[in-house]
């Protein structure tokens, strides 16, 4: 797994996206994952470098929300790169320093997926 995330919010099913080593991208809702598109090798490599640069690989198993964050989603993050990570960030919202790198990474992933879909 190059990168995956799933957000859990109050009153709605979990949702997320994940990218496998072969570039396959899946969109998740609840416990179901459905094929979405595929990244080419260059885009998958770009995502892998973004994962490494983001710092998420060094996250602890769970990061609680700071006192200034009331609410916000809980986000589960994982990757198999460089020893891997499976981490949970509570209070996944703007203003949470622990959440911001992974939020930027999700935006990078969204851009790569949009480009892959446009190329199809």
pLDDT tens for the 120 residues of the chain, in order: 999 999 998 777 899 999 999 999 999 998 899 999 999 999 999 999 999 999 999 999 999 999 988 877 999 999 999 999 999 999 999 889 999 999 999 999 999 999 999 998
CATH number of the domain to which 113 belongs? 3.30.1560.10
Containing structural domain, residue 113: 3-119
Q: Quick check: helix, strand or coil at residue 41?
A: helix
Structural element, H or E, at residue 6 = strand 3-8
Structurally, how many domains does the chain consist of? Answer: 1
- pTM of the predicted structure, to 2 decimals: 0.92
Which pairing describes strands 85-92 and 62-63: parallel, antiparallel, or unpaired? parallel
- Distance separating alpha carbons of residues 15 and 5, to the nearest angstrom: 8
């Amino acid at each position: 797994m190059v990168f995956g995330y799933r957000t859990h919010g109050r009153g709605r099913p979990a949702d997320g996206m994940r990218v496998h080593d072969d570039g396959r991208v899946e969109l998740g809702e609840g416990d179901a994952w459905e094929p979405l598109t595929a990244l080419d090798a260059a885009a998958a490599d770009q995502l892998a470098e973004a994962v490494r640069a983001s710092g998420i690989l060094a996250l602890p198993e769970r990061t609680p929300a700071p006192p200034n964050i009331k609410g916000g989603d809980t986000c589960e993050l994982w990757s198999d790169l460089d020893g891997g990570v499976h981490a949970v960030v509570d209070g996944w919202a703007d203003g949470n320093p622990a959440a911001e790198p992974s939020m930027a990474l999700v935006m990078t992933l969204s851009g790569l997926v949009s480009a892959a879909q446009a190329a199809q």
